[in-house]
């Protein structure tokens, strides 16, 4: 395997983890780090902290990871595309659909690998959920519901909870169900005194008919990361914070309670928590990026896919402003 020279732009809360994984990844050599804010987490090691993206490009990198605030994604990515550098940009792809489209065009026109860090696709619980759904273990899928709640992260200042967090749920839902969004309806709340929304409730339907619902906020003292897929055979529940996947089967026992026998629904059946390998999602994501650059087929989240996710999130925000559902 050839060794790829890697650059990292941004070593904040997420960038520090990228630095660690890049250093541990076979076939990759982290040779350049840039962050105008310095190195707050002490991850640079023997590498100097460079001032900007141009200095990283000057080091002759083959690949780069961009982990700066969302509003800076476009400028960094376009500079890297112009220099012929394959790039993984943290999610969301950009702060606007227009900016994201320019990024997609630049990388596709240059024949470069452009990826977006929608890391939930590499979560072992969701990968196992997708595999079991694809194998028909749920039968027909009726609904996918997600809950992503927790305290406000003060480091996020340039986008709201929709683009920062709900983008995870939009992307993973379409991926798990293997269908694009057909329509969305959204409601938002502004309770923290910031410019952007800090709570979203979004509902919609995928092109294959699956009903979806997302509850996302920065207003909860309890942290929750749950995805539930419900179908004719039961429900699969993924806890993406722990990587656990549990199946709740529809029961097969006849109801003997007279007052509920007229109800034609499901009953409680067996519950199974599956055992399967659990690798760090960020490491698996980086392996997919590396392998895609080397010309292999991978499950990488492309910039075009990341743009689609951003368009759906912007549709939710538009719906919240207008009170009307948005179709795609």
Mind listing the pLDDT tens digit of every residue in the chain (328 residues)?
Answer: 689 999 999 999 899 999 999 999 999 999 999 999 999 999 999 999 999 999 999 999 999 999 999 999 999 999 999 999 999 999 999 999 999 999 999 999 999 999 999 999 999 999 999 999 999 999 999 999 999 999 987 766 678 999 999 999 999 999 999 999 999 999 999 998 888 999 999 999 999 999 999 999 999 999 999 999 999 999 999 999 999 999 999 986 555 555 555 555 677 889 999 999 999 999 999 999 999 999 999 999 999 999 999 999 999 999 999 999 999 9
DSSP letters of 135-156?
Answer: TTTT-SEEEEEEEEEEE--TT-
Peptide bond between residue 92 and the one before it cis (omega within 30 degrees of 0): yes
Helices (H), 206-294: 281-293
Clarify whether residues 253 and 317 are in a common domain.
yes
| 249, 152: one domain | yes
**pTM (two decimals):** 0.93
Are 104 and 158 part of one and the same domain? no
127: exposed, middle or buried (Cβ count in 10 Å: 0-12, 13-18, 19+): buried
**Per-residue pLDDT at 254:** 58
Residues 174, 313: one domain?
A: yes
User: Which pLDDT belongs to residue 266?
Assistant: 77
Structure token digits, residue 314: 């912007």
Same domain, 249 and 126: yes
Q: How far apart are CA 298 and CA 289, in angstroms?
A: 8
* Domain match, 171 and 229 both: yes
Q: Quick one: which H or E segment has residue 27?
A: none
Instruction: For residues 20 and 169, state if they share a domain.
Output: no
Q: What's the domain count of the chain?
A: 2
Do 78 and 38 fall into the same domain?
A: yes
Measured CA to CA in angstroms, residue 98 lies from 81, 94, 112 at distances of 17, 9, 20
Q: What is the pLDDT of residue 251?
A: 83
Report the sign of the C-alpha dihedral through residues 113, 118, 124, 125, in that order: negative
167-177 vs 303-322: helix axis angle to the nearest 10?
A: 120
Q: Please give the residue range of the domain that contains residue 287.
A: 4-119+283-300
322 with 201, same domain: the answer is: yes
């Amino acid at each position: 395997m050839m060794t790829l020279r890697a650059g990292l732009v941004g070593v904040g809360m997420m960038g520090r983890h990228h630095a660690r994984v890049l250093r541990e990844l076979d076939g990759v050599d982290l040779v350049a780090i840039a962050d105008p804010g310095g190195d707050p987490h002490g991850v640079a090691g023997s590498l100097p902290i460079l001032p900007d993206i141009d200095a990283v490009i000057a080091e002759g990198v083959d690949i780069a990871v961009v982990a700066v605030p969302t509003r800076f994604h476009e400028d960094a990515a376009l500079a890297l595309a112009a220099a012929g550098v394959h790039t993984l940009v943290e999610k969301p792809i950009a702060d606007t659909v227009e900016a994201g489209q320019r990024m997609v065009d630049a990388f596709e026109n240059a024949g470069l690998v452009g990826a977006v860090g929608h890391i939930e696709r590499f979560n072992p619980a969701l990968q196992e959920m997708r595999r079991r759904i694809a194998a028909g273990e749920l039968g027909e899928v009726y609904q996918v519901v997600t809950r992503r709640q927790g305290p406000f992260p003060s480091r996020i200042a340039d986008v709201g909870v929709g683009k920062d967090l709900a983008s995870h749920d939009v992307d993973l839902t379409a991926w798990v169900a293997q269908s694009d969004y057909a329509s969305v309806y959204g409601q938002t709340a502004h309770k923290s005194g910031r410019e952007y929304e800090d709570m979203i409730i979004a509902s919609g339907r995928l092109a294959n008919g699956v009903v979806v619902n997302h509850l996302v906020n920065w207003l909860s003292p309890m942290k929750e990361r749950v995805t539930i897929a419900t179908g004719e055979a039961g429900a699969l529940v993924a806890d993406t914070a722990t990587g656990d996947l549990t199946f709740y089967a529809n029961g097969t026992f006849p109801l003997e309670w007279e007052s509920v026998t007229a109800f034609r629904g499901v009953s409680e059946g067996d519950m199974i928590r599956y055992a399967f390998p659990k690798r760090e999602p960020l490491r698996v994501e980086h392996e997919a990026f590396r392998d895609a650059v080397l010309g292999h087929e991978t499950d990488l989240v492309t910039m075009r896919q990341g743009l689609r996710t951003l368009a759906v999130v912007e549709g939710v925000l538009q719906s919240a402003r207008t009170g009307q559902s948005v179709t795609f």
